[in-house]
Structure 1
Amino acid sequence: MKKSFCIIALIWPFVLLSQTSLLKGIVSNSSKEPIEGVSISYENKGTTTKADGSYQLQIPTGKTIVVTFTHVAYKSISKKFTLRSNRTIVFSPKLDVLIQSLKEVSVVNKKNAAQGVLAIDTKKVKRLPGANAGVENLLMTLPGVNNTNELSTQYNVRGGNFDENLVYVNGIEIYRPFLVRSGQQEGLSFINSDMVQQIHFSAGGFQAKYGDKLSSVLDITYKTPKSFKATIDLSLLGGSATIEGISTNKKFSALIGFRHRDNSLFVNSKQVETNYTPSFSDVQSYLSYAFSDKLSLSFLGNFSLNNYNYTPISRKTRFGTLANPIELIVYYQGQEKDSYLTSFGALNLKHTPNDFWTFNTTLSSYNTQEEEYFDILASYNLGAVDSNLGSENFGEVAFSEGIGSQLNHARNDLDAVITNMQFKATYKKDENQIDLGILYQNEQIKDRIIEWEVIDSLGFSVRPLHHSINNNQPYDPYTGSIEPYQAIRAFNSVQIDRISGFAQYSRKGFWNEHQVWYNLGVRAQNWRVKPNDQPAVSQLIISPRAQFAIKPDWDQDLLFRISGGWYSQAPFYKELKDSNGNIKADVKAQQAIHAVLGNDYSFMLWNRPFKLTTEIYYKHLSDVNPYTVDNVRIRYQAKNNATAYATGIDVRLNGEFVPGNESWISIGLLKTQENIDQRGYIARPTDQRLKVGVLFQDYVPNLPDLKAYINLVYNSGVPGGAPSYADAYQFQNRLSAYKRADLGVSYVFVDANKKAKAAWLKNFREFTMGLELFNIFDIQNSITNTWVRDVYSKTQYGIPNYMTGRVLNFKLGVQF
């Protein structure tokens, strides 16, 4: 008996250790909302919460352990547990929001990750430094998203151009002005960051419910107010004010935003001396009325007026090498006056008759009235700079290699009205979902194009490409007639009718113990183009798409996904217009076969959450419509005479590099080429081989309310800067790499986690002040070239048109 007791006494501790208890509960935030994706761990074991915030974790009995609950957007907590018997214990903690973090829903939302969608909370987007602060500014830090013009909100995605990106606000496609030539003319993005509730972004392989474009989808949802708030932001670049509120019966809500912007601070930092008086303003509203829990009506409206008045005076640019420096001096006469007036309105009726069905009917109309008028005479001197260190004239122009002038003229007007009606239905039961939709769209576009460029008769500048007379000045007199380098005169009236629809099926479930999600869908569109009283041309496209994702039941938190399909981009007005302004109604839709393979790996590093996202993609394009890019203006050939491909890899590591602050590093490798008229493959205008983006957030340890935001971007040079209408096969030289660093520093006086100490601050919900330093290292980035030729060697020089220099900006933000 004594022997048996001794044996039991010896093995009993091991029996206790081998037994396990169950720890379970629901993790929620201060608003009692469940939090998905909370990491719950002890030692080297752990789990994560589900969509409803619930979790279950096996813990040892008879041993004291510390269980830690962590989430990228909430403050971590730890709890000790010592269980003496095998039992179940319920622990449901509440996590506090981590104010310093830039909360990213995609880190925790497995459904979005399975769909290849990045979801970002926009509360901190406007705090990120950038010449164009907002949603697009953040997108520029992502892999595969490129832009080498800080004054533009347009972006290229994985080898596509600006026109290949879908942008939706509350499910309605958004358009941008047609005639904008340069980033400094753009003014404001349509998206008002203060009004945004959700952002979803997909860089490729997206679902059939999205439209017919080749590259990406940016899906924006404006928020429905829950209480009264007023937000005001002011800076040296302009200001904004947003008011939101809800009626006492909770049925009517209103969200209204006003914005004004002035880019003269940036333009004055450039090498061109100008008189520049831009005015970019808009007002947006989102109104909603709930008739009942099942029926609601909402209105989204926008009115924007961008006036761009530009009077260049002079320019001085030095380029070349240390041994052979060259200086270009230009004196200007004339001015440019552009006006872009856009208005947009949409009504949406949402009906939810039961727990399974949701119906949305939307009527929307968009109108843009654009004027582009300029007459600018430029007289230039191209001179060789004295590089002899011992010379009295060191650094000065020794002699002129070229003297000339050019006159640019335009009287362009455009009036476009786009009206559509859309119906969508969603059926959702258990883990199954069916989405259906149909849309009719009518486009009425009237366009007058009168523009020409005359280069002087001295022969110092590039002649028209078709010029056949031998020019041997100054040795032989030039006897040919003066003719425009390029001239366009066209009057277009185009009507386009489109009918499109989609159907898709989604399901999530299990394959053995592994979680799986898949989506199957198809789109179709028929469009009819009737230009200038000519016979109408009708075409049809069909676009099947599919997605599949699996989260293995492994110890590591891994998610694998594959997506793709046959994507088609039906031509819009710009794709139908050739370089001479003529409409080609028979232009076909560009086709692209997408294949995207992705992986998400979530892990703990330094006891903090991190996520590594990797995507490999390939796109094969046919019926390609070749184009050239000048600043942000795209000119198409209006021909389907090319094939192309784009392939690459995107990698992004995000997490708490600094405790409590979400940052990331992005790296993208891309190669995209096209074969025009079977002449062989050459780089496309968007062939940005290397992209590196860094978004870094930090704070002062002893002063946590003083926060810093750093935005770093490196983009390798793209082919470009060639003379207008030049043969792409003869001009494949690349522009210089784009390098930019922006810094923002702000101090929080009052916010949700910091109560006001001073009496005058008690009236504010939030009060922040800060400074932004754009282009910290004052790097000279160029977007295009100005082309001139010296008289002696007939050498053509591409003189860089540099972007903005170093600029300091002050910001003030308050919320009532």
Structure 2
Amino acid sequence: MKKLLFLLFFPGFLLAQQTAKVTGIVINKYNQPIEGVAISYLEKGTVTNAKGLYEFTIPIKKTVVVTFSHVSYKTISKKFTARGSRTFTYSPTLDFKSEALEEVVVKNRQKEAQGITEIKTQKVATITGPNAGVEAVLMTLPGVSNNNELSTQYNVRGGNFDENLVYVNGIEVYRPFLIRSGQQEGLSFINSHMIQHINFSAGGFQAQYGDKLSSVLDITYRKPTEFATQVDLSLLGANITVENTLLDNKLHAMLGVRYRDNSLLVNSKQTDVNFNPNFTDIQTYISYNLSSKTTVSFLGNFALNNYNYQPLTRKTRFGTVADPIELTVFYNGQEKDSYQTLFGALSANYNVSDNLTITAIASSFNTQEQEYFDIEAAYRLGEVNTNAAGEDFGEVEFSQGIGSQINHARNDLDALISNIQLKARLKDGTNEWKAGVKFQTENFKDRIREWEVIDSVGFSVRPPSHTTPQDQPYTPYEGPIEPYQQIKADNDVTTNRIAGFLQFSRKSFWKEHQIWMNIGVRSQFWNVRANELSNQQQFTISPRAQFSIKPDWKKDMLFRISGGWYSQPPLYREMRDYNGNVQPQTKAQKSIHLVAGNDYSFTLWNRPFKLTTEMYYKSLSDVNAYAVDNVRIRYRADNVTEAYAYGLDVRLNGEFVPGTDSWFSIGYLKTEENINNRGYIARPTDQRLKLGILFQDYVPNLPDLKAYLNLVYNTGLPGGAPAYADVYDYTNRLNDYKRADIGVSYIFADANKIHSKGFLKHFKELSAGIELFNVFDIRNAITNTWVRDAYSKRQYGIPNYMTQRVLNFKLKMKL
């Protein structure tokens, strides 16, 4: 533990070291290194190597003009003045000399052929929203949805939150397990300051990726090329990152510290609370070149989320204009939750030759979570006076339901997930082989003590499963008071897994048409031991294939098809049933994927555009059915369900405004499940229609004043049923989710606006702006709170609304 924490802070001590060389890396605008750049200075010269790297020395106390030139790029010059023995790190980005040369780079369609969407890092930096970052960009894509702006989790094409793979530098990352609501989540694992590449696949992905059913988010953190400090400040928190390259450009180090406070958002809701959250994250990435062939890297993360919540009152008005109803609640008690996670991964990359690379990775993830609350609520449900001429207009004139409830929990979880893996990549001309093997062990210790007692007009409401007729208040019940819900369980579960994959890729030509193909298979064997009583062993195999073709047509078209048999072996939460008991015999969920897509690149108004269309179908078996409460998923853990999903995703992106990149996306989805042969009903993620818009603009006469619009429309999800209710009895949907966030910022300094004097000369980047969340102040509901009235025998579903309109201020800088 102490060693790992030392490594987390290690880069901070290294940043003070100095050398006396001028060094850096020369890249193009696609972050690709440029080989053979001629660097001339003082009638001397050097050139960049295959990795775009260079270094040379200059005299102290003398201004030197250095010129960077290349036959395919525009020449640039830079002045250096060494006033002492120190390091100058300069990594220029060269612009192409002609559009024709740039087109050659754009035509590299490898990622598109694999069905992978590449997202520019600039999109992450400019996205506007309460949870700005990679996930916020994903939620504007077709097929990706989330009706909770306080959460960074997302559903993809009918899957749930647990069906998405997330990798950082080839290492799978995890989230805390006990989180119930989006406002408890705090920060995403991904630090947006540290990202170099973002790749996303919504289905039909290759065998090299792990065993999940829905999607892959593959993040690559960059290696710093010079000293820099980035700072983001807003009313929601701060993000500070320091980076440098040291030891003759052999050591690359980044250290990021983030803090978030959701009070601004939570205090805008209909519940009056004392809210004191504290979400802190420290993350580091270190890479060291042991030799020209060997690189060792370390990725570390420490996160501490303290969630202190004390509700005071709540007032929610719902119903219709003609028949409004108001719920008033008075609370007593509080909730104190803590989620502490520690993650460390060490990797070594060895280039055996130009064609063969071997990578070894060892990682460990530990989470210690506690969920403690005792909250008493007394409520009144009343009819609102709609007589505009009356003195009590708008006031509650008749109480049709009075009651109270007590919620109690003492839940603790301690989880440790460790693994080692070995991967190899071999290139042979246009052929490529990839293979890997991974061993993982998981241990979960979980203690659950949770109950709810409900009282209505003085009578205790018994559990729904109670066999004695409930005839209160007419006939008093003389039995003991029983909790309406109660879970009591102690679990100690250990799982050992061995997984491996092998895949082959080829890029070639068929006649004049360019083709890509990939075929692979992955497999997993695992053993589960739960509470020292059971030992279950299972095995899965998952073949996958892709084929793409770019016809030799006048129009720039790319067609692709992919699919396979996908399996998702259960993690701990998927083995825990509604009553908190672990079912070690829970089988892997299985899905047959078929995805067909097309990319059409064209020019409109002399600007580039691309239309992407994908159709998909999934046939699922051994499904582990579940219910969703905010962001908490509760599984049946019985595999007695079958399901299907199909849909169409369309996205149009391009320069709708010259010099900017925007997109419009629309998706249609239908997904249903059949639980234990009772008939097909909509799954909890059946988001039929989704519309997303990410739009950028600027003032023509003042181009540094920019505007960003993030708009999402999702049709209503099934849900809002009482806890532990039979889903076949509640098939209604929540209202449609409609949200628009807008941001306006002014750029004081950036790569295109460099200042040589004054205060701004200290900044490589500086911008300030405002953000307006939920511009139209639309009341979106995520779940329902169910109020029961023993007198009238009715239950009322009161919507839990999300955030209202909120104004945020933002400051971004890079030194």
Q: Distance in 2 between matches of 1:188 and 1:791?
A: 42
**Which aligned pairs between 1:421-500 and structure 2 lie closer than 5 A?**
421-456=420-455, 458=457, 463-500=462-499
The amino acid that maps onto 1:509 is S
Q: Distance in 2 between matches of 1:117 and 1:152?
A: 24
Q: Deviations over 1:31-56 (max 9, x none)?
A: 99679xxxxxxxxxxxxxxxx9xxxx
Match of residue 722 from structure 1: 721
Which has the higher Rg, Structure 1 or Structure 2? Answer: 1
Tell whether 2:665 aligns with 1:666. Answer: yes
Q: How far 1:464 sits from its partner (Å)?
A: 2.0
Q: Distance in 2 between matches of 1:122 and 1:263?
A: 25
Number of corresponding residues: 731
Match of residue 512 from structure 2: 513
The amino acid that maps onto 1:303 is F
Q: Distance in 2 between matches of 1:794 and 1:457?
A: 10
Q: Distance in 2 between matches of 1:241 and 1:609?
A: 35
Q: How far 1:392 sits from its partner (Å)?
A: 1.8
Tell whether 2:413 aligns with 1:406. Answer: no
**Which aligned pairs between 1:239-388 and structure 2 lie closer than 5 A?**
239-388=238-387
Match of residue 117 from structure 2: 118
Q: How far 1:467 sits from its partner (Å)?
A: 2.0
Q: How far 1:28 sits from its partner (Å)?
A: 6.5
Q: Distance in 2 between matches of 1:107 and 1:735?
A: 43
Q: Deviations over 1:390-448 (max 9, x none)?
A: 32211111111000001000000000010000000000121100000000000011000
- The 3 A distance-change label for structure 1 pair 122 and 95 is farther
Match of residue 643 from structure 2: 644
Q: Deviations over 1:161-201 (max 9, x none)?
A: 00000000011100100000000000000000000111110
The amino acid that maps onto 1:365 is S
TM (norm. structure 1) is 0.87
Q: How far 1:386 sits from its partner (Å)?
A: 1.2
- The 3 A distance-change label for structure 1 pair 312 and 560 is same
Q: Deviations over 1:352-397 (max 9, x none)?
A: 0111100000010000000100000011000011112232211111
The amino acid that maps onto 1:806 is R
- The 3 A distance-change label for structure 1 pair 31 and 793 is closer
**SS of the residue 1:125 aligns to:** helix
The amino acid that maps onto 1:732 is T
Q: How far 1:778 sits from its partner (Å)?
A: 0.6
Q: Distance in 2 between matches of 1:706 and 1:108?
A: 32
**SS of the residue 2:696 aligns to:** strand
Match of residue 678 from structure 2: 679
- The 3 A distance-change label for structure 1 pair 250 and 480 is same
Cα contact 2:589–2:622 (8 A) shared by 1 = yes
Q: Distance in 2 between matches of 1:724 and 1:537?
A: 30
Match of residue 136 from structure 1: 135
The amino acid that maps onto 2:716 is G
Match of residue 801 from structure 1: 800
Q: Deviations over 1:676-702 (max 9, x none)?
A: 010000000000000000000000001
- The 3 A distance-change label for structure 1 pair 756 and 169 is same
- The 3 A distance-change label for structure 1 pair 410 and 93 is closer
**Which aligned pairs between 1:43-58 and structure 2 lie closer than 5 A?**
none
Match of residue 613 from structure 1: 612
Cα contact 1:239–1:259 (8 A) shared by 2 = yes
Match of residue 549 from structure 1: 548
Match of residue 4 from structure 1: none
**SS of the residue 1:131 aligns to:** coil
The amino acid that maps onto 1:559 is L
- The 3 A distance-change label for structure 1 pair 752 and 155 is same
Q: How far 1:121 sits from its partner (Å)?
A: 2.2
Q: Deviations over 1:129-168 (max 9, x none)?
A: 1110100000000000000000000000000000000000
The amino acid that maps onto 1:417 is L
Q: How far 1:476 sits from its partner (Å)?
A: 3.5
How large is the Cα RMSD of the aligned pairs?
A: 2.1
- The 3 A distance-change label for structure 1 pair 133 and 220 is same
Cα contact 1:419–1:442 (8 A) shared by 2 = yes
Cα contact 1:128–1:138 (8 A) shared by 2 = yes
Q: Distance in 1 between matches of 2:736 and 2:548?
A: 36
Residue identity (%): 65
Q: How far 1:323 sits from its partner (Å)?
A: 1.6
Deviates more, 1:449-458 or 1:373-382: 449-458
Match of residue 539 from structure 1: 538
Cα contact 1:748–1:768 (8 A) shared by 2 = yes
Cα contact 2:781–2:800 (8 A) shared by 1 = yes
In structure 1, stretches of 5+ residues that fail to align are 1-26, 36-51, 53-73, 76-91, 97-102
In structure 2, stretches of 5+ residues that fail to align are 1-26, 36-50, 52-72, 75-94
Q: Distance in 1 between matches of 2:28 and 2:174?
A: 39
Q: Distance in 2 between matches of 1:694 and 1:392?
A: 46
The amino acid that maps onto 1:351 is Y
Cα contact 1:721–1:785 (8 A) shared by 2 = yes
- The 3 A distance-change label for structure 1 pair 461 and 262 is farther
The amino acid that maps onto 2:298 is F
Match of residue 48 from structure 2: none
Cα contact 1:459–1:473 (8 A) shared by 2 = no
Cα contact 1:494–1:532 (8 A) shared by 2 = yes
**SS of the residue 1:729 aligns to:** helix
Q: How far 1:256 sits from its partner (Å)?
A: 0.8
TM (norm. structure 2) is 0.87
Q: Deviations over 1:708-753 (max 9, x none)?
A: 1000000100111100010010101000111100001110000000
Match of residue 734 from structure 2: 735
Q: Distance in 2 between matches of 1:127 and 1:589?
A: 39
**SS of the residue 1:194 aligns to:** helix
Cα contact 1:750–1:767 (8 A) shared by 2 = yes
**Which aligned pairs between 1:155-174 and structure 2 lie closer than 5 A?**
155-174=154-173
- The 3 A distance-change label for structure 1 pair 591 and 732 is same
Match of residue 99 from structure 1: none
**SS of the residue 2:655 aligns to:** strand
Q: How far 1:758 sits from its partner (Å)?
A: 5.9
Cα contact 2:426–2:434 (8 A) shared by 1 = yes
Cα contact 1:695–1:712 (8 A) shared by 2 = yes
